[in-house]
A and B are shown apart, each in its own frame.
Chain A
Amino acid sequence: MKNSVQRLGNIAIVGLKAISRNKLRSFLTMLGMVIGVGCVIVVVAIGNGASASIQSTINSLGTNFIMVFPGATTASGARLFTGNSNLTPDDGEAIKSEAPDVAYVSPQVRTAAQVIAGELNWGTSVNGVGTDYPLIRVWNVAQGDFFTDADVKAAAKVAVLGATVAENLFPNGNAVGQIIRIKNVPFKIVGVLERKGGNMMGQDQDDTILAPYTTIMKRLSGKTKIDMLYVSARSADAVQQAQTEIDSILRQRHRIGPGQDADFQMRSQEEIAAASASQMNTLKMLLLIVAAVSLLVGGIGIMNIMLVSVTERTREIGIRMAIGAKGRHVLIQFLFEAITISIVGGLIGVLLGIGSSKLVAAKAGWPIVVSVESIVLAFGVAAFIGVFFGFYPARKAARLDPIEALRYE
């Protein structure tokens, strides 16, 4: 037993020496594994980073968040929006007073406008919302105050600026108390919002102006319907229940019988998160397949080189067999060589993958999450590829006839 272990060790060393005798070729073969494994690690890191950052933007939407849109869902699930909204501010009021699981409701009306402040101007979106809006979005005022219920009731010409708008119109930072003109209507700035960052689509959420929805409807757009309702449930567990309540209240108010297509639609934060997670998974899968293909190509490279090596070293194999190497000794030698190449290549690939992930994170500013699973997976696959693609050439070597092999030129 001890003898055969020792012998195996010796034969393994023979395989190692073969690698060092052909340094350039071994290195090039390894390169396939290095790139394959490195690729898997970088790709998974980028995928994980992207999904983590999307998750955090979804969380930044608000808490226990439900959006109610006008428009119907057909049987096929496609959302139809004909342009005529049936949602009114009164719907929002009704939901807030009648649905026990709803904590906050804010209507939203949206309009785009060129905003002028003194010499400067800035094109942005102007959103008419209610006073619950900052509570739903968990979005605090950095300077000044949010407008009040009295402002909403009176359709007061007051506005709260997003951080980006404030920066562009008031580079000196003294926005509160100033007057801006939106479509020639003067608004007094009562507050500036804290910075929120980009949303899922990468749009700057701070590039916005908030004003009472009543003001926007009466003085800017002239619309009587609203674009959507932001609703916040009392707790995460109450989101489902709140949706049911909103559904029945709106059906009653819009006189839609049960079973008929509704003229509104709801999306909860969880649904958005789930949808984006499934999109992310598709993307991650795609990236992983590309990486897996490169690993496979690396493996075929190993097999190719090993086959060339077996042919080239036919005579060596003949000599070894003549002086007493058994078929399995030759098999082990070549298999060990292939496995070593793939494992060493895999190790270098792991280091390179971690390194490039860090580099991408630093240079491109992408969020990167290097996962232990991807390292273990890539490394395991590399070792498996070594065995799998090394076995055929090794067996071919082991089955050579020593007489033929010795005669090989």
Chain B
Amino acid sequence: MSQPVIEIKDLTKVYQMGEVEVRALAGINLLIDRGEFVAVMGPSGSGKSTLMNILGCLDRPTTGTYRLDGVDVSELNRDQRAVVRNAKIGFVFQSFNLLARTSAIENVELPLLYGETGWTRAQRDDAARKALVLVGLAGREGHYPSQLSGGQQQRVAIARALVTDPAILLADEPTGNLDSHTSEEIMGIFQELNDSQKTVVLITHEPDIARHAKRIVHVRDGLIHQDERIRQHRVGARGIAPPVIAVAQDRS
């Protein structure tokens, strides 16, 4: 077995709120292997957002270590974390977070602008086009977010997360703004990406969404309360697999 993608040891995060210390994370230990599909669940105030910020290298732990893809990222400064985020992490947010008045393909290309590798315009275009094909949006490259449905916007966001070929996909309530049918479609895309060995970490408070993962980590009061492997609820089995799956299967 190769080394885990995410390796967290005794991780704590303490916020100083005036006089009061708030322990958002109280000592978390977590191993996630390459190719896993993990849902992190917990009620609000459980520390799951804090965990997501640290997993996404947006924030630093107070104590403990976090190794991402074999590299200790717990002591990195702002700029170093920006580089890690760019290269290793693909974010998908609840509110899509696409740039308005910016075409789908330009949104997808965005991470490549900031990468350590210099990409030519043609290379960026090519990579972005491929990522859009992967999420089933071939032909929509020139569309603006305002011309796309919520589900399509979230697909653009997934394509943006994929374009740098990151070590993990980090999805924070990716279906929170979508109806149940579209949510299923989006989860299907994550499953399909996971099938091709992409590591997916999903943050959610909805059990219906979490059951699309293969493993559920329950967080409560800043600690891991329960860590269970589940029988994955396959979207394809329900017969509403979006065309993207066919495309992705053709590729493999």
Contact = CB atoms under 8 A, between A and B. Distances in A.
Interface residues on A, range: 20 to 34
A406 B83 contact: no
B116 A323 contact: no
Interface stretch (A7-15, A81-89, A165-173): A7-15
Contacts of B118: 2-4, 6-7
B110 interface: yes
Given A7-B113, A327-B79, A316 B53 contact: no
Nearest to A318: B97
A403 B101 CA distance: 23
B115 A322 contact: no
A21 B110 CA distance: 16
B32 to A, nearest CB: 20
Interface in B100-131: 101-102, 110-111, 113-120
Contact of A320 (B53, B114, B117): B114
Most chain A Cβ neighbours within 10 Å, of B59, B82, B115, B116: B82
Most chain A Cβ neighbours within 10 Å, of B53, B58, B85, B114: B114
B212 interface: no
A326 B82 contact: yes
A329 B56 CA distance: 19
B110 A326 contact: no
B113 A10 contact: yes
A77 interface: no
B99 interface: yes
B86 interface: yes
B37 interface: no
B151 to A, nearest CB: 19
A278 to B, nearest CB: 56
Contacts of A21: 101
A155 interface: no
Interface string A1-42: 011101100110010010001000000000000000000000
B91 interface: yes
A326 B82 CA distance: 6
A105 B101 CA distance: 82
A41 to B, nearest CB: 35
Contacts of A316: 99
B78 interface: yes
Interface residues on B, range: 20 to 34
Given A326-B78, A326-B79, A319 B114 contact: no
Given A2-B118, A326-B82, A326-B83, A320 B110 contact: yes
A14 to B, nearest CB: 7
B93 A324 contact: no
Contacts, number: 71
B79 A323 contact: no
A170 B87 CA distance: 94
Contact of B82 (A4, A10, A321, A403): A321
Most chain B Cβ neighbours within 10 Å, of A318, A325, A328: A325
Most chain B Cβ neighbours within 10 Å, of A316, A323, A403: A323
A325 B114 contact: yes
A315 interface: yes
A67 B133 CA distance: 92
B131 to A, nearest CB: 13
Contacts of A17: 102
Given A316-B99, A324-B85, A326-B79, A406 B93 contact: yes
A191 interface: no
A323 B114 contact: yes
A402 B59 CA distance: 9
B160 interface: yes
A34 B140 CA distance: 40
B111 A319 contact: no
Nearest to A328: B79
B158 to A, nearest CB: 13
A13 to B, nearest CB: 9
B58 A323 contact: no
Contacts of A327: 78-79, 82
Most chain A Cβ neighbours within 10 Å, of B93, B98, B113: B113
A324 B86 contact: yes
Contacts of B82: 321, 324-327
Contacts of A6: 118-120
B179 to A, nearest CB: 22
Given A402-B58, A403-B59, A324 B114 contact: yes
Nearest to A10: B113
B239 to A, nearest CB: 34
15 contacts: A2-B118, A3-B116, A7-B113, A7-B118, A10-B113, A14-B113, A316-B99, A321-B85, A323-B114, A324-B85, A325-B86, A325-B114, A326-B83, A327-B82, A406-B93
Interface of A: 2-4, 6-7, 10-11, 14, 17, 21, 315-316, 318-329, 402-403, 406
Ranked nearest first, the 7 interchain pairs of A and B with the lowest CB-CB distance are A324-B86, A3-B118, A6-B118, A324-B114, A323-B111, A326-B82, A10-B113
Given A324-B83, A326-B114, 20 more contacts: A3-B117, A4-B118, A6-B119, A7-B114, A7-B115, A10-B113, A17-B102, A318-B97, A319-B99, A321-B85, A322-B85, A324-B114, A325-B82, A325-B114, A326-B78, A326-B79, A327-B82, A329-B114, A403-B58, A406-B58
